[in-house]
């Protein structure tokens, strides 16, 4: 059921996450969730739960973990999600992230405009993105 794997920068807007009972709003901004650099087919990956995962912010290593440390494995996610809705070819399901997120640091360290985030996943490659400032006009509910 899983065609392939890619890197996803699971960007969160923490203040929006805290305003609602689910994380959906904080993970759904138009410019968030960059993916890439390409899709690597499942047969090329082998065990998707045994891949090194590293994240840097401005060259500082923030996460040095493995897909084995994710809370839910890929296969269990597909099984669980497909009980509620139909997964279609081309759907992207993200797994979340291991420990090391800025919001859990003491004190918390959040991304700011100009920061560069690089995420590397063994066997797949890496993506790198610069954080840009929000537009001056942001709707507020």
Q: What is the chain's pLDDT, residue by residue, as a tens digit (141 residues)?
A: 899 999 999 887 766 767 777 666 667 677 778 899 999 999 999 999 999 999 999 999 999 999 998 878 899 999 999 999 999 999 999 887 777 777 677 888 888 899 999 999 999 999 999 998 877 766 665
Look at residue 135 and tell me if it is in a domain.
no
| In a domain? residue 138 | no
Q: Per the domain annotation, does 42 fall within a domain?
A: yes
Phi-psi region of 109 (alpha: psi -120 to 50; beta: other; left: phi over 0): beta
Give pTM, 2 decimals.
Answer: 0.83
140, 30 contact by CB (below 8 A) = no
Q: What is the DSSP letter of 20?
A: S
List, in order, residues 6 or more apart from 47 with CB less than 8 Å away.
none
Domain assignment of residue 139, yes or no: no
Residue 137 lies in a domain: no
Contact 11/27 with Cβ under 8 angstroms? Answer: yes
Structural domain contains residue 28: yes
pLDDT at 14: 67
The whole domain housing 34 covers 4-130
- 136 in a domain, yes or no? no
Domain of residue 56, CATH code:
3.90.850.10
Count the domains in the chain: 1
Does a structural domain hold residue 122?
A: yes
């Amino acid at each position: 059921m899983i065609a392939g794997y890619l890197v996803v920068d699971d960007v969160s807007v923490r203040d929006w996450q805290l305003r609602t009972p689910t994380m959906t709003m904080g993970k759904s901004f138009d410019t968030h969730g960059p993916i890439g650099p390409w899709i690597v087919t499942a047969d090329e990956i082998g065990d998707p739960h045994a891949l090194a995962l590293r994240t840097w912010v401005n060259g500082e290593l923030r996460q040095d973990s493995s897909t084995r440390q994710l809370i839910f494995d890929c296969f269990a996610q597909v099984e669980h999600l497909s009980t509620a809705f139909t997964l279609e070819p081309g759907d992207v399901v993200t797994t979340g992230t291991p420990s090391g997120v800025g919001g859990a640091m003491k004190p918390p360290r959040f991304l700011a405009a100009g920061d560069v985030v690089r995420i590397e996943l063994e066997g797949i490659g890496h993506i790198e993105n610069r954080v840009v400032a929000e537009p001056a006009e942001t709707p507020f509910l």
